Every structure is written in structure tokens, then in C-alpha cells.
Structure 1
Amino acid sequence: MRFLLIFLAFCSFALGQKVSSVATLLSENAAIAPNESFTLALKLEHPEEWHSYYQNSGGVELPPTITWKLPEGATAGPIQWPTPEAKEGFSGKSFIYSGSPVFLIDITPPPSLRPGDDFTLTASATWQICKTSCINESAEFTITLPVSEKPEADPAQTEFFQTARRAIPADPAPSIQYAAKTSGKTKDAIELRFTKLDPEPTEFIPNEPYIKALSDGGEVSTSGEFTIITLLRKKIDFLDNPIPQGETVSGILFADKALAIPETTINADAQPAPNAPVAISIGKLLPILGGMFLGGLILNLMPCVFPVIGLKIMGFVQQAGENRRSIALHGLTFALGVMASFAVISGILFAVRAAALRDGGESIGWGYQLQNPWVVLVLTLLMFVLGLNMFGLFEVGTAATSVGGNLQSKSGHSGSFFSGVLATVVATPCSAPFLGAAIGAAIALPAIQFFSAFGAMALGLATPYLVLSFFPSLVEMLPRPGAWMESFKQGMSFLLFATAGYLLWVYSGLIGQEYLLSPLLGLSLIAAAAWTYGRWNLPHKSKRTRGIALAITAVFSIAGILLALPPKPNKLWQPWSEARAQELLSEGTPVYIDFTAQWCLTCQVNKKVAYTEEVLKLAKQKKIVFLKGDKTRPDPAIEAKLQELGRSAIPVNVLLRPGEEPIVTPEVLTPQILKELFNQVP
């Protein structure tokens, strides 16, 4: 009843308001054709600070409606709603249009029209505008358009209608699949489960009045290959009337752009449909095949592979008694070993992808792999260690070389086949700096195109051997192995370091930049381990020296890896603002604020040392809300707050209790300091 009185007061106040919107109905066409749709636009120009409403207003306010009077046989489509904004209303979020919103409607004239006729329609539009009060408005329109054999656009309206269409939420890409299910102990929440979204959604505006917006008590989380948006149900409206509940959900998803999510049924246990690989045209496939073939060729330039080419061809010549036909057969056998190895590798990769599609619901790919912090960390460490190896900080692989020599020394075609297998094993780990883009495209293809792409890469690796086996005299034209190979090897290490740097940047985006210091220190320890191994674990060193070197290498390596591991997900901290802190205090909630920065080493040490499970459990018991004031970049609001607290440098940690003086902690924190601090909260 209280809400009803307030609402009626607002409406009665509005009767005296001398404000109104300017409404216009515009046609995109200067002339129309029989049975061919054209578009009209209802443009509303609102008074300053007034707004109208989306199809779901979020409350009891009324959205625009249009009643049509059309010639017999003509039809009008639904209103195409532009993207609204979410505004705090009297009973939660309202979804509004300020300024001059434009609503598009498609009209289809009847096929019975004839060129030279006139097509006349009338429309009656109603809408509501609100500020602190609400006013109902309406307008009548009549439009007459000539009929011709072909529709004619009105050039004066082209830009206007293009802008209006850009304001309408886009359809989601086929890769974005989603399902809806009930959630929560009382089934009062709705869980929208999307295939992984990047960037993370910032808002979801529902079309249904019984669902609240994401910003109205909802939350976003991730689970495996899914992004989960949890929305709350809305049970009563502004007037305390019950809202009829439904079992479908649709709306507008805000991520990098606004997307129109179609209506779907809310099931008890729904999952998004898997994203099946989609075949691409020959025009798009050929560049991928070319990139994979070129990448295979480039692998032959790796220091571990290049010297083998000439020696292997001479081995063909010796085994075949310099018979050109036999030499060519050995070359083909070698290429067959390469192709067979790639078939095994790509077959394993294809099986893994099929399992991911069947069990996880989302296709895998190079880009998708880089959404997993564990995968990115392993790739970072691999590229970094391989770079240290190629730079000469340490050497490994003598045993593998011996095995390769034994295989290559086998007589006959079996030796050539195993040499092809060995060349693949040695060369493929070097693919990351050169083949990332091509592999990323190839891995998302259906079976035939998938295996064709990896077959092209295998052919690229085998081509030099095939050419030299058919034309063995070309061996004399190859550069002789020498000191230049070591320089080339060290130069190639910088490509691996660049790849490791890129992956570290990706890793920081996944774990949060505030946690990047630990992986950097971890890589430093791993580099120290590699240096120790390469410097002291040498054949001419004593057994005791080599043992100590191996122990130090193991300790540094393990410590480095542990430091680099992804941190546990942390939803403890909320962004600080003075308004947010005061809001919590007014509700009787104690607030703990950490004024910190990414460049503040003491701040980072505090985070690692002080916030133990016991401390966080105590804070939860005391219902303390943690806020973080990030001073990584200059922030006048934080500077002002620090001055108010009598501090000028960070870290500054302060406990605020309702009605009490702030308690500022020492700069260096320990678990004991925080436990004593939090125990001062009743």
C-alpha cells in the first residue's frame, strides 16, 4: 500500500508537468514494391533528464507500444528494441532509454499492390517517460508511400537507419552456446551456462519481468569450459503485487558488445551444446595448408635438424651403392617415416579434441588452450627452458642423439624409415615460435581438413630429403657445418624467449597482474637451476661435485615451479571507494582496506605471508568486508584518503568499525597482527 501511495503521488505530480517528447515516424524507403519488406523507425526525442523504457522496464513502468492500421494483406513485425542501459530504480534495476532512442519495425506490403498505387498506413504509438515522476504520452502517424516495381531507398535516411541498426544487440556467434537451469537451494536462482566467454560479461538485462539483471544481485563465475551467470528471480513488483513466474529466459548479454540471447527453457539440469568443428571453404583452407607446409620447411633449419639433411642423403647414397633409383626409394621411405610420425601425433591430438567435444562441450584449439592457466604455465616453462638450452646455458640430449645414431645406422629401408621418425621427434618441439597461428586454425577443423593440414606440415618437413634423394648432387651445395651453427643456435633462442615472454603476459591476464611477481621470481630460480646444471654437472667434474650440482638444480627447479603455479581463486577483495566503504559502515558492517600497488614489494610480501586460512576464517566469522585500494596508477581519491589517515606511503592497511576510530596497522603484516586486529571487532 505504501508503494501504491508513492506511485500515485508521482503520477499526480506529473499531471502538472509541461514536458513532452517529440515523436517521429520515418520510412527507410522513398518507394516500396509489392510483397517486399521495408523498415519504419519510431524516433522519440526525450526532454533532458527524462527517459522511456525497454520492453522489460524492470518495474511497473510501461514500454512503447504501436498499434497499426494497415492495408489488407499487409503485416507489421515486432518492435526491434535497441540496447537499453540499466539504472537504479525504486524496486531494483530499471532498463531505460535516455536521449533519442529509435525503434525499428519491418512492414511487409501485400502482393496485390500494383506499381503506381499508393500504400497508406496509420500508427498509434504510446509510451511512458519518467524522471522523478512519470507521464504517459502518445502520438498518431500517417505515412503514404508510392508503389513501384522495385523498392527505392531514401538516401536522406540511409545513415540514420544504419546508426539505428547498430544500436540493436547483435546475434551471438555460432561458437557461443548457452543453456539455462534452476539453481540455489530454494530454486530461486537461474544459472545461465555459456561456452567460455571472453571478455567476462559485465551485465545481463533480461526480457522477462520475473528475472533480475546481473547487476541486481547476480554473479559471474567460471567452471571448466563454461562461463556461468547466476541471476535471481523477482517475486513481487513495485506495488507489492506478485509477479507471475515463467520458465524461459532471454535478454541482452554485455561482454565486448551487446548480444541478443534468444529465448530458452529453464531446465533442471541443462548444458550448452558442444561446438562442432565447422568445415571452411577451399579459399580459406589453402592459406592454412600453405602455412603448415612452410612451417614444416622451416623446421629443417633448426640446428638439431639442419646438419642431418646432407649426412642423411649421403647415407642414402652409400646404402644404395649410388644407384639413383634406390636412392630415391630411400628418400621416399624416409618421408614415409615422417608422414607416419605426424599421423600418430595428429591422431592423438584429434582423439583428445573429440573427447573434449564429447565430455566438456567445447571444441579445443590453440586459443582455447591458452585460456587455461595450467596449460599456459607449462608452455611458458617449456619455451623458457628450451631457450636457455639453445642459448648454451646447459646441454641435454646426448642420450637421444645416441639413440638416433643407432636407429640411423640400421641398414636398409628400416633405417631410413626410423630416421624419418627421429627427424619428426627432434623437429616438432621447435614448432611453437613458427606454427602457432597455423596450428590454431588447423586444430579447429573437421577430420578431413584437420589431417590434411598436418599432412601438409609433414610434407614440408620431408620435402628437402625428397628433393636431395632425387637429386643427390645438390648435397654439395649445402652450407658446411661449422662455428656459424652455434651462433645460429644461440640466435634462435631469442625467438623462444620472446614466445615465453608472450605466454607470461597471457598468464598474468589469467591469474591477475598482482600475482605476476611470483612467476617472475620462479623463472629466475629455474634459470639459476639451468646455470648450475650446465656449469657443474659436467663429465670431467668429480662425482661429488656433480651430485651437489644435481641437488641444487632440483631444489631451485622445484622452488621455481612452486612459485610460478597459479594462485587459488580469490574473491576476497572488492574494489575500494569511499562511497562503498561508507555504505558498508552505515549497514553496520566492519571494513578492512588494503591500500596497495603492483610495484609495492612490501605489499606483495604482506599478501603472501599475512593472509593465512586461519586469518581469513576469523575475518569471515567477524563478517568483515575486504576492500582493495589499488594505487598502481595515480589515484587522487586514494591520495586524499591516505592524507586523512596521516600516511603518505603504502602499504597502508586500516580497519574501519561503525562508530569507531580507524585502526591503522604497521606496514609489515603478520598473521598474528591481523588476528589481534580482527578480534577487536565485536
Structure 2
Amino acid sequence: MKRRGIFSSLTPPVGMLMAIHLPFLRLFLALLLIFPVAAQEEKMSFGLPGAESAGGKAKSTATLVSEVYSIAAGKPFTVALRLGHPEGWHSYYQNSGGIEQGLKIEWVLPEGFSAGPIQWPAPKVEVGLLENQSFYFSGSPVFMVEITPPATLAKDSVAEIKASATWQICKTGQCLDEAGSFTLSLPVKDSAEVDASQTALFEAARTTAPIKADGWEFKATNDGANVLLTVTPASGCTLPDGVDFIPAAPFLASVSEGSTVKKEGDSWVFTLKRKTKDIIDTPIEQGKDVAGILIASSPFDAKSGCHAVLVPATVIERAPAKPLSIAALLPILGGMFAGGLILNLMPCVFPVIGLKIMGFVQQSGEDKKKIVLHGIAFTVGVLVSFWVLSGVLFALRSAAGPGQEVGWGYQLQNPWTVLVLMLLMFVLGLSMYGLFEIGASATGVGGKLQSKQGVSGSFFSGILATVVATPCSAPFLGAAIGTAITLPPVQFFAAFTAMALGLALPYLILSIFPKLVDLLPRPGAWMESFKQAMSFLLFATAGFLLWVYAGQIGLENTLNVVFGLTAIAIAAWVFGRWFTPIRTSRAKGVAVLVTLIFAAAGLKLTMPPEKSALTWEKWSDARVNELLEEGKPVFVDFTAQWCATCQLNKKRAYPKEVADLMKARGVVTLKADKTNPDPAIEKKLGELGRTAIPVNVLYVPGREPIITQELFGADYMKELITKEVPLKDGEKAP
């Protein structure tokens, strides 16, 4: 059944007006769905004009039943939550297809018991209210869950199974949040006894449930903006026409929402489009595996008659590198070649070019063929060294596990990788600007190798030239290397060969025409200026990586990184200022010690922080009142990015033990962020008798708000929560 559009019955002028303002109306409707009305008699529901008020009539029926009357130690058994939807209303699959919320169950089980995942029925599919796909359940769906008791379960005891469930039901124009609490008391006996009164319910649920894909093969790979899911059915099974894939996570689109499927041999390839934002432009987290349900109107297997097949979680692997066309490859080769040429202008390379060529001439006794032979040997040395370096890089790329990428874009998804790259660019930038020197000793070694006789000396000089040039490579080769690293093997090594030829070309040309050495500009101050100018490219790259890193670790943690980079800059300055040949051994020793102290402090500050165990909701006065009415304690942090004391409190006050204590006592944490002006927050601070932040407030139902001291740590928080927040029912004090 295809749902009619909500504007299909409007008169043409009104319909045209609605079409013009459709994006705004989508946002309006989405906001209504984000803030659904609780399904309670005393609260009225929201909806489109003319929508029926729920007023209690929309409340679902929910029952938790067990397939067995009694249970046995170590023997799994199945329970089921059955929802009865009001007429015209429906609930949702774990991935609703939009912003609606599917069923969630939290279990409170006896010690040693475990609960499996929800065994989802196959949902129905149709176009939702906001023109997105909707995966939903109507009527009376049954959600089965397998419970496993421990093998040491005592006979003749009673196991109490408790569950708290939340779900959302919707109809055109309105959504309601619903919840239920359930308890099953099951006696423990020698063997489990089936409850005959529930047999029909469970048999019907299993008959219509998606079957496990025994014998089926699944493979998922990245394909640019899409994910390719290759499905090979088991023997005797096939994919009928009109098959759809219902993803279990919202970052993938179903076939009916724009993804495609085609047959390739005995397999079917689903090209699943990635969804990066939902209907209100909120970013969607991208998953690392593909899971869901294949559904079709005709059966996959004539014997079983099944119309739905479970797709197990399949890791999204790296797709084989695709070769570029000649037109696309040439700019990359050109960029690598030009980058290699520019490396010759670096102060650690350029001054020795003429010396190398004159050395070739002296060793060859003016024999042109021998001079050229030395130039070729030097070039081969450069090529071999680049092939070794690129081979190591290629091996690292090949060794990356499933779901990992080494390419420039994918590597930036890992905060540790971003941190290392950022520090590398920053430190190299400081070196190129002149705070300290990298490569000076290697240049000296080049002078010693210059005296080495024979073609082998020229070969090893080529290797050394690559080593000396490496610290200078980052400003010019980052983009080209980032692209080349994703190429297939032949094009990959061709790109790095082009870079090696760029570095070696001046030596090769000058060995063929030694008199051109006289035309080279003399080394001088211009080279130092050029090097310093190039440092700003590195600082810009470090700044970009800092921006990426801040997005990964959270803006509230970025201040530490800024202080850490400052400490590392101080370490570089101390090292460059005092660890020099003219300083005494004592001064050098002190310089090294101070450098290590500041560098270690900087590294510690810049490291990715541990992920907070607390989830902070956005504050509103209405939300505080709502939670208090439900009997839940609330902790509110009035904060801002520019408040240094606020950030210090966050670092010190909420370690894992505090977070666990707050969760155990049922404390809901809210954040009132006044980084930008917010009249509601200012008004609330005034009511609390405060004008400046930080302000942290603990609300306990039935009591006056408790305002904490301005600066506090973990011990203070543990004492506050333990003393002021009462124990939950059944909880024992530590």
C-alpha cells in the first residue's frame, strides 16, 4: 500500500503554495516528531491542523510472555514482548528510516542470566510523512528475545525477569512516546516446561520471522560514497524480483529509497547509498558493518516459503584500488615529479648539488662517459631508496585490517593518526622556520661519502640524498602522496618513481652537461628565506589537522591541545637555542632535559582524552521540571567554552567512578551552554542568585536545588551524590 501524500487533496493554489514552502514545512513537522508527546491522559498530543488528539485513546497494549512455564539451569528459553497498536497507529523497526525511535528493552536479570538481541520481525516499508522511507510495524507485532540462565542455577528457586521497554507510535502528523515495565516469575526445575497457552503465539512469530541465512555468503566493500553488498544465496535459494534490503542502521538507504540491486553470476550486488544527514540535517554516524533484512513479495526458498532473510553483521572491507585513467593519473605523476624537483631547493640539499657533480667530474678524469655513469648511479640510488620507502608504505596499506584504510581521507578518521600527523607537521614547520635544525648531521655525512671513490659511492650518495630530503618533503607532496597511496600497485609505484626522478633529474642533467654547474645560483640567504616561507605551508596543514582533531575529541577538550602544542614549541625553542656546538656539555645536558620535560608535557596534553562515561542532554527548564515530576534527580552544568574554570571542573570531576555512581543513582545530566548568549540561561542563573559561571546545580525531587562550590573534583562529586541523592529501590549502599 502506498501512502497518499498529505497535500494530494489540496486545491491547486494551496498545493502550489505548500510545494514552495515544503522545505520549511518538513522542518516544522520534523521538530514535532523530535519532541513527541508522552502518551499520558493528562498531556495533549501535537499534530497537523485537524489531527485527532490522542488524549489517552492512542495507548498501546503491551505484554511480556514466556514460551516456557518453568526453566532449567543452563537451558536458554524465549520470551516475547507483544505490542497491540491502536487503530491507525504503528511503531518502528530498530532503524525507522527517519528520526522516529524503534523499540528498546532494558533488562534487569538475576545474577548470571543474559539476554540476547531483539529478534525483529520483518517490517513494512512505505514512504513516510517527510518523504523518507519508513520501516514500521502495525497490528500486533511480536518481538522475541532469548534468555540464557547460568548452569549453576539452583533448583526449586524462582527467577524474576524484569524488563523496561520504550517505543514510539505514530500516525499521520503526530507521534507519542510510550513505555512499560514487566515482570516474569519463572520457577526453576529439572527441565523446562513449555507453556501450551503461548505455543500458538511463538509458532506464528517464528513462521513469519526472517530466517537465518544458513549457507548464504555476504561480502561488503566500500565503493566511494556507496557500500557494495554482495549476496550469494544458499543452494536452492534465489533472490526474487522486487527484493528490498532493509538496513539495521540509518547510514544506509534501502533499495526502495534509491539503492540498486543487480545480478552478477550466482550473486546479487546491492549498491547501497550512504546517508550522511537525516531529514533535519543532523549528521548520521557511519557504521563499520552492514546488517539488516532482505524482504520480497515472493519466497526466497520454495520449500520454506520464507519471504524475509536476516543479513548478519558484515564488516565493510576496503575495496580493491581501481586504476585511474591516463588523464586522471598524469596530474598525480606531475605533482609527484614537481615535488621531487622542488626538494632540490631545500638548504639541506641544494648546496651539495654542485659539489656532487664536481666530484663526479674529478673521479672520472674528465671522461664524459664516466661522468654520465656516475650520474646514472646516483639516480639509481635515489630510485632504489624511494622504491624501498614506497614498498614499506604499500606493505602497511596491504596489512590494514578489514574496515581500515590507509588513504589520505580514511586515515583522518582515526584521532591517533590525526594527532601524529598534526604533531609531525607542526614540529617540521618549527624546524623549517629555524627554531632548530633537522638533517644537519646527514648533510655532513654526505660530505664524507663524497670522498668515497667509484660508482658505488655515487649510488650510496643517491640513497643519502633521499634520506636528507625526507624531512623537507611534507609541504609539497602531501596531496599527491595522499592520492597516490590509494592507487593500485603499478600506478602506486609509478607515482613514487616520478617523485624520485624529480629529485634525481638535476643531478642527471648536470652529469651530462657539467658546465651547467656554473649557471647554478649561488647558495645564500635566499635559500633560508625560501625554507622559512615553506614552513607556513606546514603550519597551515597543522592548523587543518587541529580542526579535524577538535571535531573528533570535542571542542571542550581542544584547549588542552593548544597548551600542548605551546609546550612542544617551547621544547623546540630550548633545543634549538641551547643544544648547539658552541654550548658547554652542561648547557647541552640541561637543554636536553628541559626539552624532554616540555615535549612530554605537550604530548600528554595533546593525547586523545578518554571518552566521557556521562551523556549530557541539552538543558531546558521544562526538561528539568519533567524529570523531577518523574522522580528523577537532575544535575545541571551551566558552562561555556570560554570559561576556563568550567573546563577544569570537567577534567577533574567526572571520572568513570563518578559517572557510574551517578548512573546507579539515576541522576540525569544536563548541560546549559552559554558560549553564545542565551536569555533562558541568564534568567535561570538570576533565579539561582548567580551572575557568573561556573554554576553546577543538583536537583533532587521534593527538595531545594543544591548549588555546588565553584571549583570541585571527583571526591567532592562522590560525596555530594552519595549524601544527597537517595538510593534507588533495591540498591545497596557501597
Give the TM interval when normalised to the shorter protein. Answer: 0.5 to 0.7
CA contact (8 A) 2:443 2:468 kept: no
**1:479 Cα deviation after fit:** 1.0
**Residue 459 of structure 1 aligns to which amino acid in structure 2?**
L
Give the Cα–Cα distance (whole angstroms) in 2 for the partners of residues 318 and 636 of structure 1: 81
Give the Cα–Cα distance (whole angstroms) in 2 for the partners of residues 440 and 446 of structure 1: 13
628, 631, 634: which one aligns with 2:677: 634
Q: Work out whether 1:521 is the aligned partner of 2:509.
A: no
**1:600 Cα deviation after fit:** 1.1
Give the Cα–Cα distance (whole angstroms) in 2 for the partners of residues 173 and 265 of structure 1: 27
Counterpart in the other structure of 1:287: 331
Give the Cα–Cα distance (whole angstroms) in 2 for the partners of residues 507 and 402 of structure 1: 38
**1:407 Cα deviation after fit:** 2.7
Instruction: Tell me the SS of whatever aligns to 2:473.
Output: helix
CA contact (8 A) 2:98 2:132 kept: no
CA contact (8 A) 1:594 1:654 kept: yes
User: Residues 373-407 of structure 1: CA distance to partner in whole angstroms, max 9, x if unpaired?
Assistant: 11111122122222222222223444323333333
Instruction: Tell me the SS of whatever aligns to 2:227.
Output: coil
**Residue 401 of structure 1 aligns to which amino acid in structure 2?**
T
CA contact (8 A) 2:633 2:699 kept: yes
Q: Work out whether 1:658 is the aligned partner of 2:701.
A: yes
Give the Cα–Cα distance (whole angstroms) in 1 for the partners of residues 352 and 326 of structure 2: 35
Instruction: Tell me the SS of whatever aligns to 1:573.
Output: coil
Residues 508 and 99 of structure 1, relative CA distance in 2, 3 Å threshold: closer
State the identity as a percent: 54
**Residue 279 of structure 1 aligns to which amino acid in structure 2?**
P
CA contact (8 A) 1:48 1:99 kept: no
Counterpart in the other structure of 1:302: 346
Give the Cα–Cα distance (whole angstroms) in 1 for the partners of residues 494 and 171 of structure 2: 61
Q: Work out whether 1:422 is the aligned partner of 2:410.
A: no
Give the Cα–Cα distance (whole angstroms) in 1 for the partners of residues 465 and 610 of structure 2: 41
Give the Cα–Cα distance (whole angstroms) in 1 for the partners of residues 552 and 130 of structure 2: 38
User: Residues 268-324 of structure 1: CA distance to partner in whole angstroms, max 9, x if unpaired?
Assistant: 563224311111211111111111111111111222111122221111111111222
Give the Cα–Cα distance (whole angstroms) in 1 for the partners of residues 290 and 679 of structure 2: 34
Give the Cα–Cα distance (whole angstroms) in 1 for the partners of residues 86 and 99 of structure 2: 15
Counterpart in the other structure of 1:433: 475
Give the Cα–Cα distance (whole angstroms) in 2 for the partners of residues 452 and 304 of structure 1: 26
Q: Work out whether 1:606 is the aligned partner of 2:649.
A: yes
**1:334 Cα deviation after fit:** 0.8
Instruction: Tell me the SS of whatever aligns to 1:594.
Output: strand
Q: Work out whether 1:271 is the aligned partner of 2:259.
A: no
CA contact (8 A) 2:223 2:319 kept: no
Q: Residues 171-570 of structure 1: matches in 2 within 5 Å? A: 173=224, 175-177=226-228, 227=288, 247-248=293-294, 266-268=310-312, 270-356=314-400, 359-570=401-612
Give the Cα–Cα distance (whole angstroms) in 2 for the partners of residues 558 and 417 of structure 1: 39
**Residue 608 of structure 1 aligns to which amino acid in structure 2?**
K
**1:561 Cα deviation after fit:** 0.5
User: Residues 14-68 of structure 1: CA distance to partner in whole angstroms, max 9, x if unpaired?
Assistant: xxxxx982599xxxxxxxxxxxxxxxxxxxxx996579xxxxxx978889xxxxx
**1:460 Cα deviation after fit:** 1.2
Q: How many residues align?
A: 506
**Residue 653 of structure 1 aligns to which amino acid in structure 2?**
N
Residues 672 and 417 of structure 1, relative CA distance in 2, 3 Å threshold: same
**Residue 315 of structure 1 aligns to which amino acid in structure 2?**
G
**1:660 Cα deviation after fit:** 2.1
Residues 476 and 587 of structure 1, relative CA distance in 2, 3 Å threshold: same
**1:414 Cα deviation after fit:** 0.9
**Residue 369 of structure 1 aligns to which amino acid in structure 2?**
Q
**1:515 Cα deviation after fit:** 0.6
Counterpart in the other structure of 1:593: 636
**Residue 500 of structure 1 aligns to which amino acid in structure 2?**
A
**Residue 536 of structure 1 aligns to which amino acid in structure 2?**
W
TM-score (norm 2): 0.61
Residues 129 and 658 of structure 1, relative CA distance in 2, 3 Å threshold: closer
TM-score (norm 1): 0.66
Q: Residues 29-40 of structure 1: matches in 2 within 5 Å? A: none
Residues 507 and 478 of structure 1, relative CA distance in 2, 3 Å threshold: same
Instruction: Tell me the SS of whatever aligns to 1:495.
Output: helix
Instruction: Tell me the SS of whatever aligns to 2:590.
Output: helix
Residues 384 and 174 of structure 1, relative CA distance in 2, 3 Å threshold: closer
**1:365 Cα deviation after fit:** 0.4
Instruction: Tell me the SS of whatever aligns to 2:532.
Output: helix
CA contact (8 A) 1:383 1:497 kept: yes
Residues 594 and 228 of structure 1, relative CA distance in 2, 3 Å threshold: farther
Instruction: Tell me the SS of whatever aligns to 1:271.
Output: strand
Counterpart in the other structure of 1:29: none
Instruction: Tell me the SS of whatever aligns to 2:346.
Output: coil
**Structure 1: which 5+ residue stretches go unaligned?**
1-18, 25-45, 52-57, 64-82, 104-127, 134-170, 181-189, 195-200, 231-245, 251-262
Give the Cα–Cα distance (whole angstroms) in 2 for the partners of residues 645 and 568 of structure 1: 32
Give the Cα–Cα distance (whole angstroms) in 2 for the partners of residues 307 and 634 of structure 1: 58
Between 593-602 and 404-413, report the one with greater CA deviation: 404-413
Residues 435 and 394 of structure 1, relative CA distance in 2, 3 Å threshold: closer
Give the Cα–Cα distance (whole angstroms) in 2 for the partners of residues 390 and 89 of structure 1: 55
**1:642 Cα deviation after fit:** 2.1
CA contact (8 A) 2:379 2:462 kept: yes
Residues 329 and 490 of structure 1, relative CA distance in 2, 3 Å threshold: same
**Residue 367 of structure 2 aligns to which amino acid in structure 1?**
N
CA contact (8 A) 1:221 1:227 kept: no
Instruction: Tell me the SS of whatever aligns to 1:176.
Output: strand
Give the Cα–Cα distance (whole angstroms) in 2 for the partners of residues 574 and 206 of structure 1: 36
* 4+ residue runs over 6 A deviation: 58-63, 88-96, 99-103, 190-194, 201-208, 219-222
**1:498 Cα deviation after fit:** 2.0
Give the Cα–Cα distance (whole angstroms) in 1 for the partners of residues 226 and 471 of structure 2: 30
CA contact (8 A) 1:585 1:591 kept: yes
Give the Cα–Cα distance (whole angstroms) in 2 for the partners of residues 172 and 59 of structure 1: 40
Give the Cα–Cα distance (whole angstroms) in 2 for the partners of residues 459 and 264 of structure 1: 58
Give the Cα–Cα distance (whole angstroms) in 2 for the partners of residues 538 and 338 of structure 1: 31
Residues 606 and 363 of structure 1, relative CA distance in 2, 3 Å threshold: closer
User: Residues 154-206 of structure 1: CA distance to partner in whole angstroms, max 9, x if unpaired?
Assistant: xxxxxxxxxxxxxxxxx9846535699xxxxxxxxx99799xxxxxx679899
Between 505-514 and 388-397, report the one with greater CA deviation: 388-397
User: Residues 397-426 of structure 1: CA distance to partner in whole angstroms, max 9, x if unpaired?
Assistant: 443233333333211111111111111112
Instruction: Tell me the SS of whatever aligns to 1:633.
Output: coil
Instruction: Tell me the SS of whatever aligns to 2:638.
Output: strand
